[in-house]
Amino acid sequence: MSDYNRSFNGDAKIKLTQLVNEGMRVMQEVEDLNTGLSETIKAIGEELEIKPATLKKAIRIAHKARLGETNRDHDELNTILETVGKTL
């Protein structure tokens, strides 16, 4: 059992209620948007014969503006794989 014993009254209760309600609304919107994006990615992937995972990765990289970093990581991976003779 917890020893935490704090109560919120007045303005604090109003602020917490508003925060929780707004947070729940925003989280639902995010979930809905993610669902819509996934459906769009799947449809375009099928149309263009590109794996949805590849499209999602491209979107994440573009969103984070990390293409240069990703390419450097891949260069390093390629070097390692070439070194151990595990390339195609």
pLDDT of residue 68: 73
Q: What is the pLDDT of residues 5-46, one digit of tens each?
A: 888 899 999 999 999 999 999 999 999 999 999 999 999 999
Neighbouring CB atoms inside 10 A of 58's CB total: 13
What is the residue-wise DSSP string for 61-88? Answer: HHHHT-HHHHHHHHHHHHHHHHHTT---
Q: In this structure, is residue 65 part of a structural domain?
A: yes
- The mean per-residue pLDDT over the stretch 38-56 comes to 96
Q: Which residue has the higher pLDDT, 59 or 24?
A: 24
Q: Which domain holds residue 38?
A: 10-83
Q: Is the pLDDT of residue 1 over 60?
A: no
Q: What is the pLDDT of residues 60-71, one digit of tens each?
A: 888 777 767 777
Q: In this structure, is residue 25 part of a structural domain?
A: yes
Q: In this structure, is residue 34 part of a structural domain?
A: yes
Q: Is 61 in contact with 67 (CB distance < 8 Å)? A: yes
The first and second tokens of residue 3, run together, are 């020893």
Q: In this structure, is residue 72 part of a structural domain?
A: yes
